[in-house]
Amino acid sequence: MLIVELLLVALYGLCLLFILSFSLTQFHLTRLARQAYQQPAAPAPPAPAAWPRVTVQLPIYNELYVVERIIDACAALRYPTDRLHLQVLDDSTDETVALAAARVAHYRAQGLRIDHVRRLPGKDLRRVRYATA
């Protein structure tokens, strides 16, 4: 019986040591995080002399409830509009097509370069090649 009691006390002591080391590690990480938040933020890098052309492709398939928000979020990108091209790649078979077309027309009227591409049925790679051609 004495051996079982000693083993239980030793196991209990090891558990306490594990909890102590875990707590000290968490305390150390908390100190590091507080120090990192107290430092001033790094300055933003300067804007490039010439912005590269960027095409953002939005693959859509029956996204009735989110298609407008997705297009709005991409249209709100802070990027020169003459260098940004948005493509809504739409395979939808429901009312999403009309919603996407209306939102694309709205942003095209504002001068944003945006296309609503109804893709051909087939494999995904073939669809992307069709949109980028």
The candidate with the shortest Cα–Cα distance to 102, out of 127, 67, 132, 129, is: 67
pLDDT for 124 equals 59
Higher pLDDT, 61 or 26: 26
| 13-to-16, 17, 20 alpha-carbon distances in Å | 5, 6, 10
Q: Is the pTM of this model over 0.85?
A: no
What 3-state class would DSSP assign to 89? strand
Question: Is pLDDT of 41 > 90?
Answer: no
- In the block, tokens 């707590």 appear at 23
How does the average pLDDT of the chain come out, rounded? 90
d(CA 128, CA 133): 9
Reported as a pLDDT band with limits 50, 70 and 90, residue 58 is very high
Q: What letter represents residue 48's amino acid?
A: P
pLDDT at position 129 over 70: no
Burial of 69 (0-12, 13-18, 19+ CB in 10 A): exposed
Report the pLDDT averaged over residues 15-32.
Answer: 97
Q: Residue 91: which pLDDT band, with cuts at 50, 70 and 90?
A: confident
Residue with the two structure tokens 């049925």? 121
